[in-house]
Structure 1
Amino acid sequence: MATPLTATRLLEALRAEGLTVHEVRSWRTHNRNSKGSWGPVNGVMIHHTATEGTDSSVDLCYDGRSDLPGPLCHGVIDKQGEVHLVGNGRANHAGLGDRDVLEAVVDERELPPDNAADTDGNRHFYGFECINLGDGKDPWPAEQRLAIEKVSAAICRAHEWSERSVIGHKEWQPGKVDPRGFTMDGLRDRIKGRLAKAPADVEGDRTDGDGGGRPLPPKPEYPPYEPFPGGGFFRSGERSAVIAAMGKRLADEGCGHYRGTPGPDWNEAHRKSYAAWQRKLGFSGKDADGVPGRVSWERLRVPNS
């Protein structure tokens, strides 16, 4: 769960990921907040417009239709890979979906089938419409696929989410087919690879077999520090050398709550030790709950394991 990004922070996050972003009309104050809550936000939802043409698609998503007022999303991703921001706040894009899917997104775990429509998705998801007819024949240019990846990664970075916080409309609401033309699992794999590096360190992209782009293979040498593995990594039953290395660093920083040498299994001692590290950095409340976030993790500098 997270507080929605401000308009300025959203714009900064997208541009920091290397995206070309256009601000459409009064997008910063354009929303449906008067009709319902906006937030806490839990993820990013990807759609296709079922339209063609940039100007007409952007205008439609800003203004909406007679039966569904705009904004119909937060941003439109065109065929050239450029982003057009049309709303900030609650938007009419997700509709009612499956509560079990929302819970899986919150927990950052594998999605269950979407077989119910009992939960307001407009409150919980950022929405991005990608210009495509959705007929299975309209192509997805490499620039557009890369932009979808970057947009998703940018918001995940800003909220310290993993790639599992990104879903398709078809994974949320029964009967929906969008986005059609690439797989969401393939997209999430590419987002995962992008999140493992800082935006400036992500290399060029190519087209892969499922119709999407992915970063080139990483350089053979290992980075000096472990990249943030995502908040969902730190849960009961997880065992990894990364966790042991984290524990040693926490002990070195004087934040250890261990009776012996930190082990590889995530447990309460690790959580208490990490909470002490978060407090040392000045975090409090939910930001010092002992579950690693991207900012505190990067400052800890856990050696590559």
Structure 2
Amino acid sequence: MATPLSASTLLTALRDEGLQVVEHGSWRTHNRNSQGAWGPMNGVMIHHTVTSGTDSSVTMCYDGYDGLPGPLCHGVIAKDGTIHLVGWGRANHAGLGDGDVLRAVISETALPAVAKADTDGNSRFYGFECVNLGDGEDPWPAAQLEAIEKAAAALCRAHGWSSRSVIGHKEWQPGKIDPRGFTMDAMRDRISERLAGEPDGPRNPPQQPPATYEPFPGAAFFTVGRHSAVVTAMGERLVAEGCGKYAVGPGPDWSEADRTSYAAWQKKLGYSGTDADGIPGRASWDRLKVPAV
């Protein structure tokens, strides 16, 4: 058993292991601590998101969804291997699981077959959600698998745990299948090998040009008859955010499908009534981040 790491200690541990880390919002204080215990900690749990796309997956894990408030994990592991931190403290990721499994994790012995759900896992496990559809066909890039290995190893190293302290959601809760697409035994072997050596050390962040986005063109821009590449770029971002309502397209001509899709985006941001009428406003436009065309 161990006292939970501080947010700063976690960040240092991940970066010392050689990971690229992105901090989101108020992740250091974003938690569900008011709903139950956080700690003592016993291990690391790996999940898959059943989503595609980094931005939308991170947003979902930060905010949660109807019936399950966020954060839904502590870090999201993207396909490029980047770790996106979305919460620290109790998170809605593990749920109720098998107490016999917890006892095996604590003693770092072989896991029993999961058979019951009688123990709160949200208080005992760090959780990482990995971006993957979980259909057995969506690939697991080498960079993502390496990041899972490194993230779990970083926490094990910080607490003095072995790789037996790392489990999959499917090894904790009956009926779960995640992570699907690789075996946890193989991942534990990788983690064990990494723990036998020294951490890679901090890496320099990649030098990337700043993103350039389309400035808000004004509400009057979005009228019938408007033909512009900006409309196409907007529609493509709406599709990427899961708000596309297009039967065909998107395309350059402003249409009812564009308005309906944008209304879905406004509702996703929490707007309602006339604030979700499908006509872009500056605040929602800036958050959509339409690439400059």
Q: Secondary structure at the match of 1:158?
A: helix
Gaps of 5+ in 2: 202-293
Q: What pairs with 1:121-132 in structure 2 (closer than 5 Å)? A: 121-132=121-132
Aligned residue identity for 2:16: A
Q: Does 1:41 find its partner at 2:31?
A: no
1: distance between equivalents of 2:100 and 2:89? 24
2: distance between equivalents of 1:121 and 1:154? 20
The match for 1:61 is 61
The match for 2:88 is 88
Deviations 1:45-103 (A, max 9, x none): 00000000000000000000110000000000000000000000000000000000000
Gaps of 5+ in 1: 202-305
The match for 2:52 is 52
Q: Does 1:149 find its partner at 2:149?
A: yes
- The count of aligned residue pairs is 201
What's the offset of the Cα at 1:200? Answer: 3.0
2: distance between equivalents of 1:142 and 1:200? 17
2: distance between equivalents of 1:113 and 1:126? 21
The match for 1:174 is 174
Q: What pairs with 1:187-202 in structure 2 (closer than 5 Å)? A: 187-200=187-200
The match for 2:9 is 9
Aligned residue identity for 1:52: S
2: distance between equivalents of 1:200 and 1:23? 21
Deviations 1:115-165 (A, max 9, x none): 000000000000000000000000000000000000000000000000000
TM-score, normalised with respect to structure 2: 0.68
Aligned residue identity for 2:105: V
The match for 1:159 is 159
1: distance between equivalents of 2:12 and 2:178? 27
Q: Does 1:139 find its partner at 2:121?
A: no
The match for 1:119 is 119
Aligned residue identity for 2:178: D
The match for 1:220 is none
Aligned residue identity for 1:110: A
The match for 2:23 is 23
Q: Secondary structure at the match of 1:123?
A: coil
2: distance between equivalents of 1:60 and 1:141? 22
1: distance between equivalents of 2:42 and 2:199? 22
Q: Which runs of 4+ in 1 moved over 4 A?
A: none
Q: Secondary structure at the match of 1:84?
A: strand
Q: Secondary structure at the match of 1:44?
A: strand
TM-score, normalised with respect to structure 1: 0.66
Q: Does 1:98 find its partner at 2:109?
A: no
Aligned residue identity for 2:200: A
Aligned residue identity for 2:174: P
Aligned residue identity for 2:30: H
Aligned residue identity for 2:79: K
Cα-Cα RMSD: 0.7
What's the offset of the Cα at 1:190? Answer: 0.5
1: distance between equivalents of 2:165 and 2:191? 10
The match for 2:74 is 74
2: distance between equivalents of 1:138 and 1:2? 35
Q: Secondary structure at the match of 2:5?
A: coil
2: distance between equivalents of 1:158 and 1:23? 20
Q: Secondary structure at the match of 1:128?
A: strand
